[in-house]
């Protein structure tokens, strides 16, 4: 394993990929995250995974052969900017953030003068279960090179054209459906549980769409939104911005962002489970606390 891996951002995605690569025998890894300092520091995670801590963005990328940009949607461009002093020709700069295609193009233009090779990468499934083997769609002039080198590390990367923005467009427009269904599930189950009819609602959905396990999906989707609602809301705002740039009113994308953000703002303290009843109870408890706070 001759790659030196760098993670800019070491949240769920970075940690999962690092854990998988560690299992493949990759030992030269380092990371930088603004959350390495202060309360709730991510530093302990680096020790668990054998990842060295860099001083800053530029220090992290300096000398790395494969760089993963895995920060929040809001800070992706700023984080890339901070990496520039340490970038050099030949490095692969893989942007896995869920942002609009235009923002990927803007980031690629920012990175280009350094000589580093920008890759627009879209993570197409939850990363935690599959670790580094999570399916990734990649586009840009260096997409094929990334797919080849990532494949040697046991990763599953599909090159999808040479145009930066193509991979992220697939992810964005897929999210209209996936995140939209999640938002609908939250609204449907919360309302159904008020009347105690959620099982009958799910049974009816099962009859209409027998190819899906609606009982399982209800708990799974509620858990995903409760755990990652803020990130999903940010992504859907990127989707909405993309649609607006196309002069297509983002009715569904905007509504999905609002519902995801609503749940994120509740800051629900929920158990790590996909049990629908337990998750709905946690949401109701948070709603009650919010109502009491307003009255007070």
CA 79 remoteness from chain centre: 16
CB count, 10 Å around CB of 245?
Answer: 12
Distance between CA atoms of 129 and 160, rounded to whole angstroms?
Answer: 24
| pLDDT, averaged in runs of 10, over the chain (296 residues) | 91 94 94 81 84 95 97 92 96 95 96 98 93 97 97 96 95 96 97 96 97 96 94 93 94 97 94 94 91 71
Q: Could you tell me the domains of the chain?
A: 5-163 (3.40.50.720), 167-295 (1.10.1040.10)
Specify the pLDDT at position 73: 86
pLDDT of 37: 77
For 185-245, the DSSP string reads: HHHHHHHHHHHT-HHHHHHHHHHH-TTS-HHHHHHHHHHHHHHHHHHHHHHHHHHHHHHHH
Per-residue DSSP letter, 54: P
φ, ψ of residue 41 in degrees (nearest 5)? -55, 145
Contacts of 40 (CB under 8 A, 6+ apart): none
Residue 182 is predicted with a pLDDT of 97
Which pLDDT value is given to residue 40?
Answer: 62
C-alpha span between 231 and 40 (Å, rounded): 18
The SS3 call for residue 39 is: coil
| Residue 67 near residue 94, CB atoms below 8 Å | yes
C-alpha torsion 16→17→20→24, nearest 10: -160
Contact (Cβ atoms closer than 8 angstroms) between residue 105 and residue 242: no
Q: Which residues pair with 85 in a beta bridge?
A: none
Which of these, 193, 186, 192, lies nearest to 258 by C-alpha position? 186
Distances (CA, A) of 115 to 11, 49, 84, 142, 229: 27, 30, 10, 12, 36
pLDDT recorded at residue 74: 87
Phi, psi of 201 (to 5 degrees): -60, -45
Predicted pLDDT of residue 39 = 56
Which residues share a beta bridge with 177?
none
The pLDDT value recorded for residue 293 is 75
pLDDT (0 to 100) of residue 294: 75
Which 3 state secondary structure label does DSSP give 96?
coil
- Which pLDDT belongs to residue 121? 97
Supply the pTM of this predicted model: 0.88
Written as six digits, the tokens of 263 are: 């749940």
């Amino acid at each position: 394993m001759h790659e030196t891996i760098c993670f800019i951002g070491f949240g769920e995605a970075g940690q999962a990929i690092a854990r998988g690569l560690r299992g493949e025998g990759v030992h030269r890894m380092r990371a930088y995250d603004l959350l390495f300092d202060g309360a709730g520091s991510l530093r302990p995670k680096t020790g668990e995974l054998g990842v060295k801590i860099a001083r800053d963005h530029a220090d992290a990328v300096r000398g790395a052969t494969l760089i993963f940009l895995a920060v929040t949607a809001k800070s992706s461009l700023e984080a890339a900017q901070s990496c520039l002093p340490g970038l050099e020709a030949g490095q692969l700069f893989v942007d896995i953030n869920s942002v609009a295609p235009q923002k990927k193009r803007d980031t690629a233009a920012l990175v280009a003068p350094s000589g580093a090779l920008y890759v627009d990468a879209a993570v197409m499934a939850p990363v935690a279960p599959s670790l580094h083997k999570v399916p990734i769609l990649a586009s840009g002039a260096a997409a094929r090179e990334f797919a080849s080198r990532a494949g040697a590390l046991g990763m599953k990367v599909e090159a999808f054209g040479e145009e930066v923005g193509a991979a992220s467009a697939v992810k964005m427009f897929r999210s209209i459906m996936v995140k939209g269904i999640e938002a609908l599930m939250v609204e449907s189950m919360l309302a159904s549980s008020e009347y105690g009819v959620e099982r009958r609602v799910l049974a009816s959905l099962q009859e209409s769409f027998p190819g899906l396990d609606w009982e399982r999906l209800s708990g799974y989707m509620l858990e995903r939104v409760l755990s990652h609602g803020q990130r999903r809301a940010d992504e859907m705002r990127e989707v909405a911005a993309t649609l607006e740039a196309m002069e297509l009113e983002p009715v569904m994308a905007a509504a999905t962002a609002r519902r995801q953000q609503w749940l994120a703002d509740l800051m629900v303290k929920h158990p790590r489970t996909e049990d629908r009843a337990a998750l709905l109870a946690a949401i109701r408890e948070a709603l009650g606390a919010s109502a009491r706070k307003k009255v007070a």
